Structure 1
């Protein structure tokens, strides 16, 4: 699983950043 971490592509990172910025409250609720 450690190798998967370094395989993250810039596109995936962008999607995660956008998801966090535009859906932070959704992630907080899902974390419950």
Structure 2
């Protein structure tokens, strides 16, 4: 979460969990950014 906040990506934990379940490649991209 902290890394995403530093990059000014504003997603809450619920949205992140939905992305991780339904869009694993998008979630990996977010993890790589943070």
Please, what TM-score do these two structures have when normalized by structure 2? 0.39
TM-score, normalised on structure 1? 0.41
Greater Rg by CA: 1
